[in-house]
C-alpha cells in the first residue's frame, strides 16, 4: 500500500511571505483557495435553503390552505422538508470545511512565523519584545484562522441576502428597496465601532506582551533576583504592568460590548421595519396572506445573514490584529541577510582586519583584545565573526568579509559570546562534532571535569534547560569545550573565563594556548592570566586600537593598559 506524501503546508522553503498585515492574509487565502471555495459551495446552499423556506411556506398558505388544494399543500410541504434536508446536509459540509480552513490558516501562519524566528535568530528580540513573540505563539495563530472559519457562512449570507432581496423586489418594490439599501447601510455603520475596537485591541495586546516579557525575564533571572533581594522591586513592576493590562482591557470592553449588542439590535430594528411595511401592504391588499407569512419569515431569517456580516467584521478585526503582530516577526531580518556574496573566503590561514577599530588578527596566533569598556571589544569580535548588521569593512586575507557568503563565514569563523547557552538534551549531543575521546580532551582543556561529574550519567546524562542545574562557571566551561570541539579556522572567544576562580582560570589559559597553538584565536578579556598567554594584545579605547604588544610589554610601558588590567597596582 502506497503511503500518502507528507503535507507541504503550501509553503516552499525559498518562499518569503509578505511582512504586511493585509497582504499576509491574502497570501494565506491564496494557498488554501480550494478549501475556501469548497466551504463557500456548501455555505451558500446551506443558508440559501433556509432563506427559501418562507417562500415555500407562503406558497403552501396561498395555493394550499387559502385555495383549499390538498395536493398543492402536500407538494409545498414536501418542498419545505426537502429544503430542510438540503440545509442539514450542506451544513455538515460547511462546518467540516470551516474547521479545516481555520486549522490550516492557523497552522500555516505558525509555520511561516517559526521559520521567521529561526531565520532572524538574535535579531528578533532586538526588534520585537520577547513577550510579544511569546504571545503570538500562544494565541495569535488561533486568531489568524477566525476569518477563514466564518468565510463560508459569510458567503452564504451574502448570496441569500441578495436572493431574498430579489424575491421581495418582485413582490414589492418598496420592500425590496428597504432590503437592498437598509441592510448594507446597517453593516456599514459598524465602521464607527470597528476602527476604535481594532486600535484598543492592539493596545491591549501590546500591554499583555510587555507583561509576558516581564514575567519571562524574571523567571530567567529569578536566582539573581533572590540573591540581591529584588523580589519587591519586581513585584511592584509586575503589579504596575498588570494594572496597565487591566486598564487596556477596560478600554476594550465598552467598544466590544457595543459591537456585540449591535449584532442583536441592528438586525432587530431591520426586522421591525420590514415587518411593519409588509403589514401595511397586506392591510391595503397589495400582497396576499401567503406573501405576508413569507415576508414575516424573511424578516426572521434576515437576522442570520446580518449577524453573520457583523460577526465577519468582528473576526476580521481580531484576525488583522493577530496578522499585524505576526507580520512584525516576518519583517525582522537576520543580522546578515546577504548570503549571495560573490567572493569566496580565502583558503588557508589569512589575517582578519577590522578598519573600524584598526584591529589586525594575524593568522596562527592568539590575539587578545582588552578595553575599559567591554562592549567595545565585544563589538569588534562580533564584526570579525560577521554577527552585526550592515557593511563594516572587515577584510579576511584581503577579501571583504561582507562579500563572502554568510554560511561560509559561519563555517570557518566561530564566535563564542560572553553568555553562551546550553540546550536541553544529552550532554554528548551538546558536545557534538567529535568522538568521546575528543570530548574528554576538550573537557580537560577547559577544566570542566567537575561539570561533567555534576551531570548524572556523564556524557550520557541529560542537561536541563539552559543548564540550570549547573553553576555559572560550569556552564561557561562546557560552552568553551563545545567551541573547541568545533575546531574552527578562526575562534573568537568573548570573556571565556569570567565566571571561574583565578586558579581555574590559570589552568584554562595555559591549556587553551597549547590546544590552539598554530590556529587563529581571538580572546576578548581583561584577565591578566589569559592576556599573559596571548601572542599579541590590542588595547582598545574609544573603539580604536591605542596600543599593541605583549601583556608584559604593555604592563611595563603603558599606564593606560595597567589601569585597565591591573587597576594601577604593581
Q: Does residue 17 belong to any structural domain of this protein?
A: no
Last residue of a domain, one of 281, 302, 331: 331
Q: What's the angle, vertex CA 156, arms to CA 39 and CA 165, rounded to 5?
A: 160
194 and 234: one domain?
Answer: yes
Whether 49 and 57 have beta carbons less than 8 Å apart is answered as no
273 and 387: one domain?
Answer: no
Last residue of a domain, one of 297, 331, 365: 331
270 and 393: one domain?
Answer: no
User: Across all residues in the chain, what is the average pLDDT?
Assistant: 80
User: What integer is the mean pLDDT of 202-216?
Assistant: 70
- Rg of the chain over CA atoms, in angstroms? 35
State pLDDT tens for residues 458-472: 888 888 766 677 888
What's the pLDDT at 276? 78
Whether 198 and 323 have beta carbons less than 8 Å apart is answered as no
Whether pLDDT at 555 is above 60: yes
In this prediction, what percent of the chain has a pLDDT beyond 70?
82
Last residue of a domain, one of 331, 360, 380: 331
67 and 103: one domain?
Answer: yes
Buried b (16+ CB within 10 A) or exposed e, 63-90: bbbeeeeeebbeebeebbeebeebbeeb
171 and 221: one domain?
Answer: yes
H or E element at residue 116: helix 70-120
State pLDDT tens for residues 53-97: 888 888 888 788 777 888 888 898 898 899 889 989 999 999 999
195 and 78: one domain?
Answer: yes
What's the pLDDT at 340? 44
242 and 280: one domain?
Answer: yes
What's the pLDDT at 130? 65
* Closest to 24 in 3D by CA, of 88, 116, 94: 116
Domain of 445, CATH number, reads 3.40.50.300
Among 9-13, 130-134, 401-405, 478-482, which range has the highest average pLDDT?
A: 478-482
Range(s) of the domain holding residue 310: 22-331
How far apart, in Å, are the Cα atoms of 372 and each of 162, 416, 420, 500, 533?
A: 75, 20, 22, 20, 20
User: What integer is the mean pLDDT of 488-492?
Assistant: 92
Whether 31 and 10 have beta carbons less than 8 Å apart is answered as yes
Report the relative pairing of strands 425-426 and 413-416 from DSSP bridges.
Answer: unpaired
Beta bridge partners of 437: none
Number of domains in the chain: 2
36 and 74: one domain?
Answer: yes
Report the relative pairing of strands 366-371 and 536-541 from DSSP bridges.
Answer: parallel
399 and 443: one domain?
Answer: yes
Q: Does residue 318 belong to any structural domain of this protein?
A: yes
Least confident of 342-346, 390-394, 560-564: 342-346
pLDDT grade for 521, boundaries at 50, 70 and 90: very high
Q: Does residue 9 belong to any structural domain of this protein?
A: no
What's the pLDDT at 3? 46
Whether pLDDT at 399 is above 50: yes
What's the pLDDT at 391? 52
Q: Does residue 555 belong to any structural domain of this protein?
A: yes
Least confident of 16-20, 32-36, 238-242: 238-242
* Closest to 437 in 3D by CA, of 479, 475, 485, 478: 485
Whether pLDDT at 306 is above 70: yes
What's the pLDDT at 241? 79
What's the pLDDT at 445? 94
Report the relative pairing of strands 413-416 and 490-494 from DSSP bridges.
Answer: parallel
Q: Does residue 142 belong to any structural domain of this protein?
A: yes
Whether pLDDT at 553 is above 80: yes
361 and 315: one domain?
Answer: no
Least confident of 206-210, 290-294, 335-339: 335-339
Q: Does residue 279 belong to any structural domain of this protein?
A: yes
* Greater pLDDT, 223 or 559: 559
What's the pLDDT at 7? 52
* Greater pLDDT, 514 or 175: 514
Q: Does residue 570 belong to any structural domain of this protein?
A: no
Q: Does residue 95 belong to any structural domain of this protein?
A: yes
Least confident of 32-41, 255-264, 382-391, 458-467: 382-391
Residue with cell 525582522: 332
What's the pLDDT at 316? 85
Domain of 64, CATH number, reads 1.20.1560.10
Report the relative pairing of strands 366-371 and 359-361 from DSSP bridges.
Answer: unpaired
266 and 374: one domain?
Answer: no
pLDDT grade for 307, boundaries at 50, 70 and 90: confident
pTM above 0.75, yes or no: no
Beta bridge partners of 522: 367, 492
What are the backbone dihedrals phi and psi of residue 55, each rounded to the nearest 5 degrees, phi first?
A: -65, -45
What's the pLDDT at 484? 92
327 and 361: one domain?
Answer: no
User: What integer is the mean pLDDT of 245-258?
Assistant: 81
Amino acid at each position: 500500500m502506497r503511503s500518502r506524501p507528507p503535507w507541504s503546508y503550501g509553503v516552499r522553503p525559498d518562499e518569503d511571505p509578505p511582512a504586511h498585515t493585509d497582504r499576509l492574509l491574502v497570501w494565506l487565502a491564496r494557498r488554501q483557495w480550494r478549501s475556501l471555495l469548497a466551504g463557500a459551495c456548501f455555505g451558500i446552499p446551506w443558508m440559501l435553503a433556509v432563506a427559501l423556506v418562507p417562500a415555500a411556506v407562503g406558497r403552501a398558505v396561498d395555493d394550499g390552505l387559502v385555495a383549499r388544494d390538498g395536493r398543492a399543500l402536500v407538494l409545498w410541504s414536501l418542498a419545505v422538508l426537502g429544503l430542510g434536508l438540503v440545509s442539514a446536509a450542506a451544513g455538515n459540509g460547511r462546518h467540516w470545511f470551516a474547521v479545516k480552513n481555520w486549522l490550516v490558516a492557523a497552522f500555516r501562519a505558525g509555520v511561516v512565523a517559526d521559520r521567521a524566528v529561526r531565520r532572524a535568530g538574535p535579531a528578533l528580540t532586538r526588534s520585537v519584545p520577547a513577550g510579544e513573540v511569546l504571545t503570538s505563539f500562544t494565541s495569535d495563530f488561533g486568531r489568524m484562522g477566525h476569518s477563514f472559519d466564518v468565510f463560508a457562512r459569510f458567503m452564504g449570507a451574502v448570496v441569500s441576502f441578495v436572493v431574498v432581496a430579489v424575491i421581495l423586489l418582485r413582490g414589492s418594490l418598496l420592500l425590496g428597496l428597504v432590503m437592498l439599501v437598509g441592510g448594507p447601510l446597517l453593516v456599514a455603520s459598524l465602521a464607527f465601532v470597528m476602527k476604535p475596537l481594532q486600535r484598543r485591541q492592539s493596545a491591549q495586546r501590546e500591554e499583555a506582551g510587555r507583561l509576558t516579557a516581564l514575567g519571562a525575564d524574571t523567571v530567567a533571572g529569578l536566582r539573581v533576583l533572590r540573591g540581591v533581594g529584588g523580589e519587591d522591586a519586581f513585584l511592584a513592576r509586575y503589579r504596575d504592568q498588570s494594572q496597565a493590562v487591566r486598564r487596556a482591557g477596560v478600554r476594550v470592553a465598552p467598544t466590544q460590548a457595543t459591537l456585540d449588542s449591535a449584532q442583536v439590535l441592528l438586525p432587530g430594528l431591520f426586522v421591525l421595519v420590514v415587518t411593519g411595511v409588509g403589514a401595511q401592504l397586506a392591510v391595503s391588499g397589495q400582497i396576499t396572506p401567503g406573501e405576508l407569512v413569507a415576508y414575516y419569515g424573511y424578516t426572521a431569517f434576515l437576522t442570520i445573514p446580518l449577524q453573520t456580516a457583523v460577526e465577519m467584521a468582528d473576526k476580521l478585526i481580531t484576525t488583522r490584529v493577530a496578522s499585524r503582530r505576526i507580520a512584525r516577526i516576518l519583517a525582522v531580518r537576520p543580522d546578515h541577510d546577504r548570503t549571495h556574496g560573490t567572493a569566496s573566503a580565502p583558503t588557508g590561514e589569512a589575517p582578519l582586519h577590522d578598519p573600524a577599530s584598526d584591529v589586525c588578527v594575524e593568522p596562527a596566533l592568539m590575539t587578545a583584545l582588552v578595553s575599559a569598556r567591554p562592549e567595545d571589544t565585544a563589538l569588534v569580535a562580533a564584526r570579525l565573526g560577521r554577527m552585526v548588521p550592515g557593511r563594516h569593512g572587515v577584510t579576511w586575507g584581503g577579501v571583504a568579509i561582507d562579500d563572502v557568503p554568510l554560511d561560509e563565514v559561519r563555517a570557518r569563523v566561530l564566535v563564542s559570546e560572553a553568555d553562551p547557552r546550553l540546550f536541553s538534551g544529552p550532554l554528548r549531543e551538546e558536545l557534538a562534532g567529535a568522538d568521546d575521546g575528543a570530548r574528554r580532551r576538550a573537557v580537560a582543556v577547559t577544566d570542566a571535569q567537575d561539570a561533567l561529574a555534576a551531570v548524572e550519567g556523564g556524557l550520557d546524562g541529560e542537561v536541563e534547560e539552559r543548564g540550570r542545574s549547573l553553576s555559572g562557571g560550569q556552564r561557561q566551561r562546557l560552552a568553551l569545550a563545545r567551541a573547541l570541539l568545533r575546531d574552527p579556522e578562526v575562534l573568537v572567544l568573548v570573556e571565556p573565563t569570567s565566571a571561574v576562580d583565578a586558579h581555574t582560570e590559570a589552568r584554562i589559559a595555559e591549556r587553551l594556548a597549547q590546544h590552539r597553538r598554530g590556529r587563529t584565536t581571538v580572546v576578548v578579556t581583561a584577565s591578566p592570566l589569559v592576556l599573559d598567554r596571548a601572542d599579541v594584545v590590542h588595547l582598545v579605547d574609544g573603539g580604536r586600537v591605542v596600543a599593541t604588544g605583549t601583556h608584559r610589554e604593555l604592563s611595563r610601558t603603558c599606564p593606560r593598559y595597567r589601569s585597565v588590567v591591573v587597576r594601577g597596582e604593581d
